[in-house]
Structure 1
Amino acid sequence: MGSAGTVAELVQRQWGDHRPGLRHEGTVLTHHQVASGAAARAALLAELLPAGSEPHLGVLLDNTPEFPLWLSAAALAGAAVAGINPTRRGAELARDILHTECRVLITERAHLPLLDGLALPGVRVLVTDTDAYAALLAPYAGAQPGDTVLKRPAPATRMLLYFTSGSTGAPKAAICTQGRLAAAGRSLVDHFGIRGEDVHYVCMPMFHGNAVIADWAPALSAGAGVALRRRFSASGFLDDVRAHGATYFTYVGRAVQYLLATPERADDREHPLRLGFGTEAGAVDAARFRERFGVRLVEGYGSSEGGAAIQRTPDTPPGAIGRASDRDDLAVVDPETGRERVAAVFGPGGTLVNGAAAIGELVNRGRTPFEGYWRNEAADAARVRDGWYWTGDLFFRDPDGFLYFAGRTEDRLRVDSENLAAAMIENILARWTDAAAVAVYAVPDPVAGDQVMAALALRDGARFDPEAFAAFLRDQPDLGTKMAPRFVRVVPSMPVTATNKVHRVGLRREGFWSGGPLWWNGSGGAYEPFGEGQLGPLIREYEEHGRHDLLSSHGGGF
């Protein structure tokens, strides 16, 4: 079977394939039923979209069968799907729908309250779990793939408008064409040896690029099955994997930590799962996951924008993501000067000893597959400057060219004139056995620059022992002299976004003081409780140096 140039071709290949193709709770659809359902929805979409409008539809759904059915329908019709985040509210939610010029919005009854009171002029809302929806679809039950198209599907046809999870400003809708999505799926099939008998477990939200680009697309490319979970559940993960016979899954953010936090069971290794692919698990948790569940986790690098790719090879050392793909000319540069950073130097145990000189922003100096943002020229210009694609991510490179992720540029800290990456400190703190989840972020220093603050969510039954924590820090050979947290917040659970990434914006906004347990080593020694007695002198120190305004801009409740 030759390679497909479009997602539409991949959907059409399902026609006549009566193997199980889509599983959700008690529902099983064959590949043929998926293709047939997609053809019906494509025909309906062609009737509903006004002439002359952009062929865009919004999908505001949990991971139910309707989501991949409408993705497939959009591919057949030559339309684009905007994944609408159900954690957005009010004017922000309306803005996402209107900005992407969706004239049809697919949703379900559970999400209808989100639309109450919103002004959505010209938007037709379809509610999937209703009799009215079933009646609307019924006349198109006999549609064939390719019967009705809004725009003839081609590799350059828009397929996805997926919002990035930026920390400032309104989210940007990254464009992904049918050709790029089909190529991404094919690449993962080749890289991981995905077969038609595999089952891909989609538990990350499908409004986010990870689930569609890294999980659904390779399954479609290989003719593999897809099993859906409405929303991620750590406690239900293994039961789902066993029930659906899942062999592959993707993860983002803290999902792996949540799985490791579930009670251990004697049958943790009794399942068909063979591979997890994602980002931000960290080397420590990836090793713990493999030891407990017997499943290899492969850390990848990519984004909805697709501007740079890193390929993992068999000789990739522990902790590294891989090398630049053949198509890319990747470099790690100083974001202020554009000059290339020096190669990483490792000490005993593989510790990075020259982080300040080696860590920089990853750029693609070659031809980038970045396809732009929808109606956002300013964001396009910020992403591509002087012919380079700037990823917004921090990396370092070893002498052999292997690349290591070090965090987002917005998560940099500057402590005593030294630049630090939050992700590097997090990876060290994650070794502490009492920690279930860790987040590191900057709070303003009273004199200049930043101080390091850590939020810790503890494992069940653990309590914060300041002496034990300080002893742990002293034992870490790669914890630089500027890296130790000045402040430590103990949180009942780590705040996360809808895609299971740590909600650092919220943590930074709360700053030092949120009324919860807070510890500090203000004198540079042992960690002590931080309370009202320490608050007054600290505020006065900020005032003496003219930096009191930073407390309100960083939060803190002062």
Structure 2
Amino acid sequence: MSQPTGSDVLSQAAAKYPDQTAIRDPDRDISCSFADLDEGARCVAVGLREIGFEPGDHLTAILTDSVEFLELMFACAHAGLVFNPISSRMAPERLAYVLDHAESAGLVFDTQCQGTVAEVAAEDRPSTLIGVRTDGSLADHAYSSLGQSSAPEALESGHEYHVEIDESDPALLLYTSGTTGQPKGVLHTHRNVVEATYASLPYNRFRPTDVNLALGPMYHVGPLLCNILPGLSMGATTVVQQEFDSAVTLEWIESEGITAMWGVPTHYRALVDDESISGRDISHLRMLQYSGAAMPEAVARRCREHVPGCEFVNAYGTTEIVFGTVLFPEFHDDKLGSIGRAVPKAEVRVVDPETADPAETLPANEVGELLVKTPSCMREYWRNPEATADAIVDGWYRTGDLGRRDEDGFLYFVDRKDDMIVSGGENIYPAEVEDVLHDHADVTAGAVVGVPDEEWGAVVTAFVVPDDESLTADNLESHFLNSDAIESYKRPRRYEFRDTLPMTQSDKIDRQALLESVADE
């Protein structure tokens, strides 16, 4: 018996829930049933083969979140192509690099991204360009025309381009943020995709009646493989929001009957801070999933004030492993801040960061590097065997994340190993300083970095977005000195006030940009 592949996730759902709505885009006022989405993906697969794509080719997509994004992903799976979705905000120079490094045979882009594609030199673009709802001035083919002339007959007769796909074949090529250098290409197989999708089900707890909204862009592994695909596999409806807007999100929660959401804590803070929330009926929300950071207690409390019955689920993962741990609702409040325990079929160990020996785990509450072994772990870094060998040792993926395990077996993310600050010979983790910083009522957002210093090695520096313009460094200094949650020597010695914090394309704070902003001061 052959193992399921990426396309089977949708095909099997379409067989069980053909007439239910798979995707809804309120902005465009369009909906697509499971049967229509599956047939559309098959038609596009035929069209891609007709215009010259061969199994194994890499197809890059620079698209905003849309019905077409998901349809194209499944079309690539049917046709045996490797789907390479990238950030719709990617700069032209970075796009040119990815197209070259990924050895892309084609590029799919939409109206919002056409300007970026146009800025890439013609010789740096793939030979085949496909436009989604574009004016046709740059594209060789219109996405809407793919397979339209021949696919219906081919599907009806069963004479589709037949591609034998093995679970070990590549399916997804995802690029990391590359904040300190060029991004790495993370290659996932069909088995990785399927394992991640089905391993997510116990914590997502989707029902066929659910209406699901992922607040992160689809090119991210979190919303795509840990939320959207699991939801589709269970017959849930996915609502598409191109750009996060708290007021619009609240409107849609009410009007679309959203019952489940995925986001990062920043999203949920923005929702409870939005003044329009008091006028919205969002009582049908039952599940709030998040990852990327710990949920501040104040944000969780305020969410429950508006939706008393909602449950929280926290998951931990990376682009390379998809995800490895989950904190279930039953433990969420008692273990707030934890990333939970390993998911089914995965193992997580805390080891010495210097040796990373999986055979020598550290005792409870001792901080070390998190190693993860899971069937959803990437096959390799594309065209980078050295980085692959460094990252995967005896089947264990070195996350580069520091964490600890408590006496009950619950894991906690401490910080990125590379972000640790050594000041005056002491190890200081930015996350523990940021936790105290965010406890101040007048701090909207904050980030902590170590600014190089000749005397101390590094100075703990806090970048703060104040909620109240009267907030001063002295106020924050008093806040830290009066806190029982952190030792005084770990407190910031310098404060920088900002209107906003720079973000990476993965919607994480760009610490390198913060460091560079004060490098010459």
- Assess same fold via TM > 0.5: yes
The 1:377–1:289 alpha-carbon spacing in structure 2 relative to 1, beyond 3 Å, is farther
**Quick one: distance in 2 between partners of 1:265 and 1:308?**
31
1:123 aligns with 2:127: yes
Cα distance between partner residues in 1 of 2:193 and 2:251? 30
Shift of 1:149: 4.5
What's the counterpart of residue 245 of structure 2?
233
Structure 1 position 30 matched with structure 2 position 48: no
Q: What is the one-letter code of the residue matched to 1:219?
A: G
Assess, with a 3 A threshold, how the Cα gap between structure 1 residues 292 and 80 changes in structure 2: closer, same or farther. Answer: farther
Match of 1:320 in 2: 338
> Which string of whole-angstrom CA distances, capped at 9 and with x for unpartnered residues, describes residues 57-102 of structure 1?
1111000111001011112222221112232223321111221122
Q: Which residue of 1 aligns with 2:476?
A: 469
1:184 is aligned to 2:191:
no
- Is 1:487 aligned to residue 490 of structure 2? no
Aligned position for 1:374 = 382
Report the residue type matching 1:481 in the other structure. S
Using the size of structure 2 for normalisation, the TM-score is 0.88
Q: Which has the larger radius of gyration?
A: 1
Match of 2:349 among 318, 323, 331: 331
Given candidates 287, 290, 311, the residue that maps to 1:296 is 311
* Structure 1 residue ranges (4+ consecutive) displaced by more than 6 angstroms after TM superposition: 365-368
Contact 1:184-1:217 at 8 Å conserved across structures? no
**Identical columns (%):** 25
Q: Aligned partners of 2:39, 2:234: CA distance in 1, in Å? A: 19
Distance of aligned partners of 1:38 and 1:50 in 2 relative to their CA distance in 1, 3 Å threshold: closer
Distance 1:399 1:6 in 2: 39
Task: Please list the CA deviations of residues 266-286 of structure 1 after superposition, one character each: whole Å capped at 9, or x if unmatched.
Answer: 235634222222221433354
| Greater mean alpha carbon deviation, residues 149-158 or residues 161-170 | 149-158
1: CA distance between counterparts of 2:213 and 2:483?
37
Q: 1:178 to 1:387 in 2, by over 3 A?
A: closer
> Using the alignment, how far apart are the partners of 1:418 and 1:480 within structure 2?
11
Alignment partner of 1:69 is 2:71: yes
Q: Identify if the C-alpha distance between structure 1 residues 254 and 4 changes in structure 2 by more than 3 Å, giving closer, same or farther.
A: farther
Matched, 1:83 2:85: yes
The one-letter code sitting in structure 2 at the alignment partner of 1:195 is: R
1:121, distance to aligned residue in structure 2 (A):
4.9
Superposed, which structure 2 residues align to 1:17-416 within 5 Å? 17-24=18-25, 25=27, 26-51=29-54, 54-116=56-118, 117-118=120-121, 119-130=123-134, 133=142, 134-142=144-152, 143-144=154-155, 147-149=159-161, 151-252=163-264, 254-263=266-275, 265-267=277-279, 270-279=282-291, 280-294=293-307, 295-306=310-321, 309-313=324-328, 314-315=330-331, 317-325=335-343, 327-338=345-356, 340-344=361-365, 358-364=366-372, 369-385=377-393, 388-416=396-424
> Residue type of the partner of 1:33?
D
Q: Is the 8 A contact 1:78 1:150 kept in 2?
A: no
**2:427 is equivalent to residue 419 of structure 1:** yes
Q: Secondary structure at the match of 1:240?
A: helix
Equivalent residue for 1:439? 447
Q: What SS does the corresponding residue of 1:218 show, helix, strand or coil?
A: helix
Alpha-carbon offset, residue 415 of structure 1: 1.8
Q: Is 1:7 aligned to residue 20 of structure 2?
A: no
CA contact (8 A) 1:451 1:485 kept: yes
CA distance in 2, matches of 1:111, 1:192: 32
Shift of 1:300: 0.9
CA distance in 2, matches of 1:250, 1:112: 28
Cα drift, residue 155 of structure 1: 2.1
User: What displacement does 1:365 show?
Assistant: 6.7
Query: Displacement, 1:442?
Result: 1.0
Q: Give the SS at the match of 2:490.
A: coil
Distance in structure 1 (CA, Å) of the matches to 2:90 and 2:496: 27
Deviation at 1:484, TM superposition (A): 0.7
Q: Say whether the 8 Å CA contact 1:284–1:427 is kept in structure 2.
A: no
Note closer, same or farther for the CA distance 1:287–1:185 as it changes in structure 2 (3 Å cut).
same
Letter of the 2:10 partner, please give it.
V
Q: 1:176 to 1:387 in 2, by over 3 A?
A: closer
Q: In structure 1, how many angstroms separate the alpha carbons of the residues matched to 2:411 and 2:81?
A: 36
| Alpha-carbon spacing, 1:30–1:41, altered in 2? closer, same or farther (3 Å) | same
Aligned pairs, how many?
498
> What's the offset of the Cα at 1:156?
1.9
Post-superposition Cα deviations, 1:384-427, rounded to whole Å, max 9, x if no partner, equal 24654211111111122211111211211112212121112112
5 Å matches for 1:462-541? 462-511=469-518
**Aligned-residue offset at 1:202:** 2.7
How many Å apart are 1:161 and its aligned residue?
0.7
Q: Name the counterpart of 1:350.
A: none
Listed as ranges, the gaps of 5+ residues in structure 2 are none
Letter in 1 for 2:155: Q
| In 2, Cα distance between equivalents of 1:266 and 1:121 | 49
What TM-score comes out, normalization by structure 1 length? 0.83
Amino acid at match of 1:252: V
User: Quick one: distance in 2 between partners of 1:325 and 1:419?
Assistant: 30
Determine the C-alpha separation between the residues in 2 that align with 1:265 and 1:9.
39
Q: Is the 8 A contact 1:77 1:148 kept in 2?
A: no
Q: Distance in 2 between matches of 1:247 and 1:123?
A: 43
Q: Which runs of 5+ in 1 are unaligned?
A: 345-357, 512-554
Asked whether the 8 Å contact 2:265–2:296 carries over to 1, the reply is no
SS in 1 for 2:316: coil
For residues 444 and 310 of structure 1, do their structure 2 counterparts lie closer, same or farther at Cα, with a shift above 3 Å needed? same
Q: Once structures 1 and 2 are overlaid, which stretch shifts more, 230-239 or 430-439?
A: 230-239
Q: Is the Cα contact below 8 Å between 1:176 and 1:304 reproduced in 2?
A: no
